[in-house]
Amino acid sequence: ETGVTQTPRHLVMGMTNKKSLKCEQHLGHNAMYWYKQSAKKPLELMFVYNFKEQTENNSVPSRFSPECPNSSHLFLHLHTLQPEDSALYLCASSQGLAGAQVAGELFFGEGSRLTVL
Amino acid sequence: AQRVTQPEKLLSVFKGAPVELKCNYSYSGSPELFWYVQYSRQRLQLLLRHISRESIKGFTADLNKGETSFHLKKPFAQEEDSAMYYCALLLPSGGYQKVTFGTGTKLQVIP
């Protein structure tokens, strides 16, 4: 597969469950991102990893735990979530600014639709 | 605070009519602005960026620093233009693309 791939596409979980979202990119990028997309709200940047190092954590609750084992893979571990965490979680990747051919271009996955019961 | 505002949640136009999707920004520096588009059942993707001054699929967007606007325009709407459109602002960061998005405008082109 090419591009950015997210699994699972849909996830339903209870508040006491532990689950993980996975993102994989085959574009040779060095930065990966998690965004949250809720109804009627802007896309919210959650976490950024640049060369496997976390460079941004936008005051995200600790029930969301990111992991970036290498530049191609990004995980979002979920535990004891709340119903208000139900949303579409988008993964994206990009080149760093120094090496980017197009500044500002993020490449998105199709998203993981999360429902917390 | 750096912010992007899209005042319209939904814009409905007839096929062949002109389209203008509004975007205003709040940023103290020299902005780099973009439009992203999401067609039905497709992923979010870059449509155009102001710095390249290009026209993609007939769409153009001019940066107006005086009005702090970056409206997206097309002279004649097509049915295939129906989609969600997001205005976005690139913020300074430590070597990665820190992009902040507006809330989006759904464009509906009526046949």
**Furthest CA-CA distance within chain A:** 44
Confidence label for A82 from pLDDT (cuts 50, 70 and 90): very high
Between CA A76 and CA A47 the distance in angstroms is 9
Across chain B, what does the average pLDDT equal? Answer: 91
Instruction: Indicate yes or no: CB of B49 within 8 angstroms of CB of A102.
Output: yes
Q: Give the closest-approach CA distance of A16 to chain B in angstroms.
A: 30
Instruction: Look up residue B97 and give its DSSP letter.
Output: -
Contacts of A43 in chain B (CB under 8 A): 86, 101
Among A49, A105, A95, A5, residue whose Cα is nearest residue B45: A105
| A96 in reach of chain B (CB within 8 A) | yes
- Chain B's closest residue to A45, CA to CA, is B100
Would you call B94 helix, strand, or coil by DSSP?
A: coil
Q: What is the pLDDT of residue B68?
A: 94
Place of tokens 């060095």: A30
- The model's pLDDT over B49-94, given as tens digits with 9 standing for 90+, comes to 887 777 789 999 989 999 999 999 999 999 999 999 999 998 877 7
Q: Calculate mean pLDDT across residues A62-89.
A: 94
Q: Please check the confidence at residue A52 and state whether its pLDDT lies above 90.
A: no
| B91 in reach of chain A (CB within 8 A) | no
Nearest to A103 among B44, B90, B103 (CB): B90
Q: What is the pLDDT of residue A15?
A: 87
Element (H, E) at B105: strand B105-110
Q: What is the pLDDT of residue A101?
A: 62
Q: What angle do CA A29, A104, A24 make, to 5 degrees?
A: 30
Instruction: Indicate yes or no: CB of A94 within 8 angstroms of CB of B97.
Output: yes
Nearest to B99 among A4, A96, A104 (CB): A104
Q: Give the closest-approach CA distance of A22 to chain B in angstroms.
A: 16
Q: Please check the confidence at residue A102 and state whether its pLDDT lies above 70.
A: no
Q: What is the pLDDT of residue A8?
A: 97
Residues 6 or more apart in contact with residue A46 via CB below 8 angstroms: A33, A34, A35, A36, A57, A58, A60, A64, A66, A76
Q: What is the pLDDT of residue B50?
A: 84
Q: What is the pLDDT of residue A98?
A: 67
| DSSP states of A79-106 | ES--GGG-EEEEEEEE--TTT-SSTT--
- Chain A's closest residue to B41, CA to CA, is A110
Confidence label for B105 from pLDDT (cuts 50, 70 and 90): very high
Nearest to A104 among B34, B43, B104 (CB): B34
| DSSP states of A31-60 | EEEEEEE-TTS--EEEEEEETTEEEEE-S-
Q: Please check the confidence at residue B39 and state whether its pLDDT lies above 70.
A: yes
Q: Calculate mean pLDDT across residues B27-33.
A: 86
CA atoms within 13 A on the CB side of B108: 6
Count of residues making up chain A: 117
Contacts of A103 in chain B (CB under 8 A): 32, 49, 51, 90, 97
Q: Which two tokens stand for residue B94?
A: 């430590």
Confidence label for A83 from pLDDT (cuts 50, 70 and 90): very high
Place of tokens 């990009």: A94
